[in-house]
Amino acid sequence: MADRRWKSVVGDDDTVYYLGDFALANRAVEVFGPRLNGQKYLIMGNHDTCHPRHKKRALLGREIYEAAGFQMFELARTLEIGGQQVLLNHMPYLSEEPSPDGYQPKFKELRSKAEGRWLLHGHIHEKWKIKNRMVNVGVDVWDFYPVPMTEIEKILLQS
């Protein structure tokens, strides 16, 4: 199901930024990664075995993701979207208020501070889509479809 939904949005020549936690098991990376269209760039999530803090990183690291067609293994990246500098990170912004996901103390050093620019992130699953200049692009809040850049641009312009 998820690969059909992916292919309905992503063409062969499209660029995709996957914001972490692609799969909980390496076998799923091996099986599903190569099936997905587009040029795939990975912003590492805490469940990706290529993440520097993952307990199984030493076993396979990023090689399994590279074999599945992923590139750019970073924790964060900035892109210009709709004329704005937008941060990409697996984690939502660091906040003084209680974290919606309960993980803030554990991953505090991986979270960026909100400094006024938009953030595209994952990690929190179905908690919310848009909040405080953050867009949760996790597939579980978008009915398991990737979020097209046109949708992101629309969100940035409306807010």
* Contact criterion met (CB below 8 Å) for 41 and 66: no
Q: Determine what percent of the chain is predicted with pLDDT higher than 90.
A: 57
Question: Over the stretch 91-129, which tens digit does the pLDDT of each residue have?
Answer: 998 876 665 555 555 677 778 788 889 999 998 877 789
* Residue, of 114 and 78, whose pLDDT is higher: 78
The confidence score (pLDDT) of residue 40 equals 96
Q: Which pair of tokens denotes residue 105? A: 């103390």
Q: Determine what percent of the chain is predicted with pLDDT higher than 70.
A: 89
Task: Report all structural domains of the chain as residue ranges with CATH numbers, in order of start.
Answer: 2-158 (3.60.21.10)
* Residue, of 72 and 68, whose pLDDT is higher: 68
Can you say whether the dihedral through the CA atoms of 49, 25, 93, 17 is positive or negative? Answer: positive
* Contact criterion met (CB below 8 Å) for 43 and 20: yes
* Residue, of 90 and 56, whose pLDDT is higher: 90
Tell me what the mean pLDDT of segment 147-158 comes to.
95
* Residue, of 11 and 159, whose pLDDT is higher: 11
Q: What is the CA radius of gyration of the chain?
A: 15
The confidence score (pLDDT) of residue 25 equals 84
Q: Which pair of tokens denotes residue 155? A: 């969100």
Q: Does the structure show a pLDDT above 60 at 16? A: yes
* Contact criterion met (CB below 8 Å) for 23 and 50: no
* Residue, of 116 and 53, whose pLDDT is higher: 116
Can you say whether the dihedral through the CA atoms of 41, 45, 50, 52 is positive or negative? Answer: positive
pTM recorded for the entire structure: 0.88
Q: Which pair of tokens denotes residue 123? A: 């990690």
* Contact criterion met (CB below 8 Å) for 53 and 46: yes
74 DSSP β-pair partners = 43
